[in-house]
Amino acid sequence: MQHGPTFHRLVNTSALLIAVACLAGCGLGAGIASTYRQVIGTESAQRNIQVNLSGGKDLNPSVRRIPSPVEVCLYLVLEPDWLPEPQQFDSKCATARSNGDQVLSERRIVAPNRTETLVIKAPGNRDSWLVIDADFRTRSAKAEPLRVATKRTRNSVENVLLDEQQITRSKASAP
């Protein structure tokens, strides 16, 4: 089967557009990484925060009081009064935004009697706060996310307990 000049021009144009799109995508990713590096700083100016998210035995109960996993949303922010903007469909987890106040957005699934651990990099030269929220089945309209001021030390550990429909800071080890 022979293809005419129009077909070859279409193939060449498509290949060129794909190459340009790939290069533009690389530039966009580099811009986001660059913004992240500017906020977080160099390796020597960073600190690590270990966050242990522990699910209690009665986590996210159903109407029959059967525990179940819950999606947890963790944000590292630079403003003490920052709050996530809720998604549609009653989700408490906000979308990831790349603005000056929000440095990091992570989502994890935490199951009853299990612990999820993550280590995040935070700016060592700035105050920051962890804001932790969860998509519980039911929750009081007055419920607020847990907000934890992080220390400017090199390393820190934050233990968070999720049980029933509550998020609390815990000094105890994970269950």
Architecture of the domain whose range is 46-169: Sandwich (2.60)
Q: Which residue has the higher pLDDT, 98 or 85?
A: 85
Per-residue pLDDT of 30-85, as tens digits, reads 444 434 444 555 555 788 999 999 999 999 999 999 999 999 999 999 888 887 76
Instruction: Find the mean pLDDT for residues 157-166.
Output: 93
Each domain of the chain, given as residue ranges in start order, spans 46-169
Q: Which residue has the higher pLDDT, 89 or 106?
A: 106
The answer to whether residue 155 scores a pLDDT higher than 90 is no
Mean pLDDT of the chain: 76
Instruction: Find the mean pLDDT for residues 6-34.
Output: 49
Q: Looking at mean pLDDT, say which of 76-80, 113-117, 123-127, 146-150 comes out highest.
A: 113-117
**Residue-level pLDDT at 80:** 85
**Residue-level pLDDT at 4:** 63
pTM: 0.68
Chain-centroid distance of CA 164 in Å reads: 22
**Residue-level pLDDT at 117:** 96
Exposed e or buried b per residue across 38-58, where buried means at least 16 C-beta atoms within 10 angstroms of its C-beta: ebbbeeeebbebebbbbbbee
Specify the range with the lowest mean pLDDT, choosing from 2-16, 43-57, 70-84, 115-129: 2-16
Q: Which residue has the higher pLDDT, 89 or 100?
A: 100
